[in-house]
Structure 1
Amino acid sequence: MKQFYSDVIQYRGSHYDFGYYQGIQLRDSLILPNREKQWGPKKDRHFLINSEKFISIISQFSPAILDEIYGLADALGMEMEEAFRLFGGYYLEYVRSGCSIFTDSDFMVRNYDSHPRGYEGRYVFYAPTDHGYATIGPSMQITGRIDGMNEKGLVMGYNFTHSKNSDDGFLCNMIGRLVLETCANVDEAVALLKEIPHRQSFSYVALDPDGISYVIEASPRKVVARRSNVCTNHFHLLEEENRYRQEETRQREQTVQEQQQYSTNPYEAFKVMNNPEHGVFSDKYDASAGTIHTSVYFPKASKAWFVIGPDKKPVIFDFKKWLEGTDVNVKQIKGTLDYHRPFVNMGL
């Protein structure tokens, strides 16, 4: 087992200032040079950016996030086209992943399964002073979010379905950020997901303080919503969009359902996902399907749990106190994975 960590980022201020702040941090970080080494000559093939189109589309949904990207570019002395490639979450190809989500009326617990070398190791608290809701959650592509919760108690997570027949549109991580920053409840999240252009096919799970969770199945061609409390990596309604092989994801869905029926409290539900003995936690890292983190969000209590790696007690964050002005004392969230290569923020 090798030790890994995520840095905890905390900021209150405008989007431009937040972008500039993150850009200053990235100057001394390994994230950008390591990403450059990983992508190498493939970058131009994976990042197909039309700057004018990106500006037009992101401005429809959140001009404030565009300001954040401007701040990043200014701090890094970067041309805007390059900033859009790195931080825009539009057009970028996505590495396939696993992921499992279970919801109760009071919480969501989620395993994020992917490849450790693409994980950037940043857990972000952000309270904007210009536009949008305050959010908490792990980042992807700096500006995007892997899962999270906002100040209204809306909780979001997503699961990959497939990348076939992709189209122009936003990736999961930027869509997750847009949902958290602009939507106050599940109904608003469903409406946004039906309006926004999707690059690839994902399921988005949303839960708010009313306690009803929806799985929103989204492809570049159609978006539909269903009430459910379990989600893995296949669609139920958009069956024509599914992969050819679904045995593993359907078996994992059944395992989550069977194991969670014996959970009597949130910690038991967390252990079902995080303890490998229950059969949900995965160590298939080389296949981009190993569990990197397990997160739990409590929309009514405004608290979050987070852990890297298997069979650990979670770090507990009181988001309500943070919103009231009390910073968290945790600087890094540490954990171990059975993998030999580090996160992108740690080295290569």
Structure 2
Amino acid sequence: MDLLFEAIDEDMPGAKWRRVFDRHWHAYSRWFIRDGIRSRPTYLASLRALRTHMPELLPAYEAIVAVAGDGDLEARFLSMWCPPVYVGGCSQAIIGGDKPALIRNYDYSPRLLEGTWMASRFNGKRVVAVVDCLWGVLDGVNEDGLCVSLSFGGRTAAGDGFGIPIVLRYVLEFATNTAEAVAILKRVPVHMSYSVALLDRAGHYATVYVNPDRPAEVLERRVSTNHQHGVEWARHAQTTRSVEREAALEKVVALKHDPDKVLGSFLRPPVYQTSYGRGYGTLYTAFYQPEDASVELIWPTARWRQSCADFTEDARTILFNDGDSAGFARPFKHGVTPQ
């Protein structure tokens, strides 16, 4: 299995973003209406939700809908209001000390990852993020040094709310620090359960448990995997080794305050996973440093660095091996045959 990662730099949605849209829209539109088009909220309901909960994001939303063609279905999808349910993996750790960092593994199926790494300035603030649902955020950093990432919360509860990627987009566009990000996460409704890791340039951090059926909870936790206070979805936790991953990271974070030393645990089992065929393989490790608003995407054999101040467009194909051992990715520049 292979996956194209593409880094694009576009301040406002334009021709580059439209190419991403054209590449993925067929698959996204089928997923969005998989339960029937009437199962999704109307455009007016979606617009009303945005106006109520994230009004500052409306100009960017309208701009990106226009580039997508101003269609009704496209507008409903891009609002991310009450999307279909979906689950994933992921591990996160916040490291303190002299060089604070946020490290995360994104665990999912390579067939379902968009693979877009985007630098933008939708609202005047530079944001660099790995994108989901065409403009939402899986993890990212803004020019203020605020870093954010998500992991699935391990609960089957679902309700009226936004898909978490657009909420994290909102956080990076308008928050400057962890406290402001927490305030947003406490008031914006989400449709499923997630654990959101936050770290800012001053070293302030938080893990926020957001849920559709209970208030957001803010904790001084440095590690999160795919359960919150305890395992509520036993089958998912067992399949993704959520408890084992949490224990491994808790141990290393408690003993080591050097981000580079903690990083090694993300590149080894049980934190690094290779069950790509089952949808729980590690597709990339992201290493965020708020001091210089930088991020590296990392695989066991390569590192790819970007920052808000220095972002270079590029494309790389990542190869994945399915299995329970040595399923490492081999990155190489797109169009170049690997040796």
Whether TM exceeds 0.5 here: the answer is: yes
**Alignment check: 8 A CA contact 1:88 1:143 kept:** no
Q: Percent identity?
A: 20
**Number of corresponding residues:** 317
Q: Which residue does 2:86 correspond to in 1?
A: 95
**Alignment check: 8 A CA contact 1:51 1:84 kept:** yes
1:214-264 CA-to-partner distances (Å, cap 9, x unmatched) read 11111112211110111111112xx5x932454531221001123445656
1:287-312 CA-to-partner distances (Å, cap 9, x unmatched) read 322111110110012211113xx412
Q: Which residue does 2:210 correspond to in 1?
A: 218
Structure 1 SS opposite 2:209: strand
The one of 37, 41, 46 equivalent to 1:49 is 41
Q: Which residue does 1:11 correspond to in 2?
A: 10
Structure 1 SS opposite 2:208: strand
CA distance in 2, matches of 1:122, 1:136: 11
Q: What's the CA shift for 1:30?
A: 2.4
Letter in 1 for 2:318: G
Q: Does residue 251 of the first structure (1) align with residue 241 of the second (2)?
A: no
Q: Which residue does 1:15 correspond to in 2?
A: none
Task: Give the gaps of 5 or more residues in structure 1.
Answer: 13-17, 323-327, 341-345
Q: Which residue does 2:264 correspond to in 1?
A: 271
CA distance in 1, matches of 2:38, 2:301: 36
The Cα RMSD (Å) is: 2.6
Q: Which residue does 1:114 correspond to in 2?
A: 108
CA distance in 1, matches of 2:204, 2:76: 36
Q: What's the CA shift for 1:150?
A: 1.0
Q: Which residue does 1:335 correspond to in 2?
A: 318
Q: Does residue 311 of the first structure (1) align with residue 304 of the second (2)?
A: no
Structure 1 SS opposite 2:36: helix
Alignment of 1:30-109 (within 5 A): 30-36=23-29, 39=31, 42=34, 44=36, 48-63=40-55, 65-79=57-71, 81-105=72-96, 106-109=100-103
CA distance in 2, matches of 1:134, 1:64: 16
Structure 2 SS opposite 1:101: strand
Q: What's the CA shift for 1:114?
A: 1.2
CA distance in 1, matches of 2:252, 2:314: 34
Q: Which residue does 2:157 correspond to in 1?
A: 165
Structure 2 SS opposite 1:164: coil
Q: What's the CA shift for 1:100?
A: 0.3
Task: Give the gaps of 5 or more residues in structure 2.
Answer: 324-333, 335-339
Q: Does residue 124 of the first structure (1) align with residue 118 of the second (2)?
A: yes
**Alignment check: 8 A CA contact 2:153 2:228 kept:** yes
Letter in 1 for 2:314: K
Q: What's the CA shift for 1:76?
A: 3.6
**Alignment check: 8 A CA contact 2:147 2:288 kept:** yes
CA distance in 2, matches of 1:259, 1:337: 27
Structure 2 SS opposite 1:95: coil
- Normalised to the residue count of structure 1, the TM-score between the two structures is 0.82
Q: What's the CA shift for 1:99?
A: 0.4
**Alignment check: 8 A CA contact 2:47 2:79 kept:** no
CA distance in 1, matches of 2:124, 2:51: 13
Rate the CA distance shift 1:303–1:147 in 2: closer, same or farther, 3 A: same
Q: Which residue does 1:325 correspond to in 2?
A: none
Q: What's the CA shift for 1:47?
A: 5.8
**Alignment check: 8 A CA contact 1:271 1:311 kept:** no
Letter in 2 for 1:126: S
CA distance in 2, matches of 1:6, 1:337: 13
Letter in 1 for 2:166: M
- Normalised to the residue count of structure 2, the TM-score between the two structures is 0.84
CA distance in 2, matches of 1:46, 1:73: 20
1:173-219 CA-to-partner distances (Å, cap 9, x unmatched) read 11111111111111111111110011011111111112132111111
Rate the CA distance shift 1:162–1:48 in 2: closer, same or farther, 3 A: farther
Rate the CA distance shift 1:265–1:254 in 2: closer, same or farther, 3 A: same
**Alignment check: 8 A CA contact 1:20 1:71 kept:** no
Letter in 2 for 1:188: E
Q: Does residue 229 of the first structure (1) align with residue 211 of the second (2)?
A: no
Q: Which residue does 1:295 correspond to in 2?
A: 286
**Alignment check: 8 A CA contact 2:8 2:116 kept:** yes
Q: Which residue does 1:343 correspond to in 2?
A: none
Q: Which residue does 2:19 correspond to in 1?
A: 25
Structure 1 SS opposite 2:176: coil
CA distance in 2, matches of 1:67, 1:147: 22
Q: What's the CA shift for 1:163?
A: 5.1
Structure 2 SS opposite 1:82: helix
CA distance in 2, matches of 1:20, 1:91: 26
**Alignment check: 8 A CA contact 1:108 1:297 kept:** yes
